[in-house]
Amino acid sequence: MIARVGDVVLGDGRIAIQSMFKRPLRAYDDSHLRRLRNMGCDMMRFSVSDESEEDIRRFVKRCEGLFPIISDIQGNVRQAVSSLDAGCAAIRINPANFGMNDLDLIASLAIDKSAAIRIGINSGSLKDASTQAVLDYFDKYIGFFESRNFRNLVLSVKSSDVMKTADLNKLVSERYGYPMHVGLTEAGGVCASAVRSTLVLHDLIECARVDTIRYSISSDERSEIRCAYEFLRTLGRRNDDFQMISCPMCARAGADTQAFGEFVEDFVFDNFDIRELNLKIAVMGCPVNGVREAEGADIAVCASKGEYAVFVAGERRESTHSADVFKDLFAAAVRSRIIGKSGG
Ligand code: SF4
């Protein structure tokens, strides 16, 4: 089965990247939204708080052409109606706090608006989180929607426990056959979530449906999208290929590879859509590994004794002793390589 969330098709073999707005919608300017899109994000979700229907409508409009918006409803039917009326491509309901009384209205509206519904269960929100209780919820809610001939459904079942999440996803994926949104919940900070989420996703991608993923991280959207992108890119599940490598730094380092890596990423995401890139960038703190890495990268920088050298396609092009001038040289090299490769 497939589901359609705006212009994103779930179930066609491609795995969509999803993240969630961490702040109220009004906090995001257009350049920030564009950057999330450029980083490879396919869908964004927000939790409805004090936004009016008009606020949501305006926000959905601003995101047109970037990504569809999914509204997360906390047991409030008015929020569900406003979100669907405002043009959200999907709503997420949690059976633990969204009773069946209002489902009729929601199903008719979703049909009317061609919107999708995600039935998303978090085991932490259930009084009884046994496998049978989870399946009973899905049986009841999916059964209801199917009885209304509504099948534009996405399912998710999350927990903070790696093994439990993996087991439940396998079961739910096999039993119902609907597109699956996969991830952990309450997964922790960047390091904890990157490791734990990757374990779950890698296990499931081999043996269950994985149609859209989210790395839940106690951090900003950038970390979530970068982790998801790198996971899919490393597995060869993306058509694009934007790769950043950098040395881990040591006492020999003549450059802060972490800071330069972030600078490069910011420059790329502010100016280019990752979907159109095939680019490998290497940032090396000194020539020990730097010169060799430069040969295999589109763009490389290697720092030594206060001098920054920039390599393009393995050839040493420019060097400077100024960190600011270096940033300009590096940005120009990235731009020229991307535009040169795209034939522009
Ligand atoms: S490339 Fe140089 S600075 Fe970086 S880890 Fe290796 S020796 Fe250290």
DSSP string, 8-70: EEESSS--EEEEE--S-GGG--HHHHHHHHHTT--EEEEE-SS--HHHHHHHHHHTTTT--EE
Ligand 1 pocket member 254 (CB < 6 A): no
Q: Which of 245, 289, 302 to mutate to test the pocket of ligand 1 (most atoms within 8 A of CB)?
A: 289
Considering Cα of 196, then 197, then 202, then 203, what sign does the dihedral take?
A: positive
CA–CA separation, 77 and 83 (whole Å): 10
With a pLDDT cut of 70, the percent of the chain lying above it is 99
Q: Which CATH architecture has domain 241-342?
A: 2-Layer Sandwich (3.30)
State which ligand 1 atom lies nearest to the alpha carbon of 257: 4
pLDDT score, position 255: 78
Q: Of the residues 245, 252, 260, 293, which should be mutated to test ligand 1's pocket, given the most ligand atoms within 8 Å of the CB? A: 252
Kindly give the distance from the C-alpha atom of residue 249 to the centroid of ligand 1, in angstroms, as a whole number: 5
Atom 5 in ligand 1: residue holding the nearest Cα? 249
Average pLDDT of 72-92? 94
Give the pLDDT mean for 279-292. Answer: 85
Q: Does ligand 1 lie within 6 Å of residue 154's CB atom? A: no
Residue 86, ligand 1, Cβ within 6 A: no
Best mean pLDDT range from 92-106, 149-163, 311-325? 149-163
User: Residue 303 pLDDT more than 90?
Assistant: no
Residues of the chain with CATH 3.30.413.10: 241-342
Is the model's pLDDT at 98 over the cut of 90? no
Model confidence band, residue 158 (pLDDT cutoffs 50, 70, 90): very high
Instruction: Report how far apart, in Å, the C-alpha atoms of 326 and of each of 159, 248, 263, 298 are.
Output: 46, 20, 11, 17
pLDDT at 221 (0 to 100): 97
The pLDDT of residue 344 is above 80: no
Q: Return the CATH superfamily for domain 3-234.
A: Dihydropteroate synthase-like (3.20.20.20)
Atom of ligand 1 nearest to the CA of 290: 1
Q: What is the per-residue pLDDT for 89?
A: 98
The rounded Å distance from CA 263 to ligand 1 centre is 19
Q: What residues pair up with 158 in beta bridges, in sequence order?
A: 122
- What is the rounded average pLDDT of the residues 100-111? 93
**pLDDT for 343:** 58
Looking at residue 298, what is its pLDDT? 93
Whether 342 shows a pLDDT value over 70: the answer reads: no
